[in-house]
Amino acid sequence: MGVVWHGHYAAYLEEARRALGRRYGVDYATFFAHSTPAPVAQLHVDYLAPARLADTLTVTARLFKSEAARLEFEYEIRRQSDGSLLAFGTSLQVFTNPEGELLLTLPPFMVERYRSWEALWTQP
Give pLDDT tens digits for 79-90: 999 999 999 999
Q: Is residue 103 part of a domain?
A: yes
The percent of residues in the chain predicted with pLDDT above 90, rounded, is: 86
Mean pLDDT of the chain: 94
Per-residue pLDDT band at 42 (split at 50, 70, 90): very high
Q: Is residue 93 part of a domain?
A: yes
* Radius of gyration in angstroms for the set of CA atoms belonging to the chain, rounded to a whole number: 16
Q: Is residue 2 part of a domain?
A: no
Q: Is residue 67 part of a domain?
A: yes
Residue 96 belongs to what domain range? 8-121
pLDDT digits (tens, 9 = 90+) for 67-116: 899 999 999 999 999 999 999 999 999 999 999 999 999 999 999 999 98
Q: Report how far residue 61's alpha carbon sits from residue 124's, in angstroms, rounded to the nearest whole number.
A: 17
CB atoms within 10 A of CB 116: 11
Question: Measured between alpha carbons, how far is residue 93 from residues 63, 68, 70, 74, 96 in Å?
Answer: 11, 11, 5, 12, 10
What pTM, to 2 d.p., does this model score? Answer: 0.89
CATH label of the domain that carries residue 81: 3.10.129.10
Question: Measured between alpha carbons, how far is residue 107 from residues 6, 38, 72, 75 in Å?
Answer: 34, 11, 15, 24
- Tell me, rounded to whole angstroms, the distance of Cα 14 from its chain centroid: 6
Q: Is residue 21 part of a domain?
A: yes
Q: What's the confidence (pLDDT) of residue 54?
A: 93
Q: Is residue 40 part of a domain?
A: yes
CB atoms within 10 A of CB 28: 12
Q: Is residue 41 part of a domain?
A: yes
Q: What's the confidence (pLDDT) of residue 67?
A: 87
Q: Count of domains in the chain? A: 1
Q: Is residue 3 part of a domain?
A: no
Q: What's the confidence (pLDDT) of residue 82?
A: 97
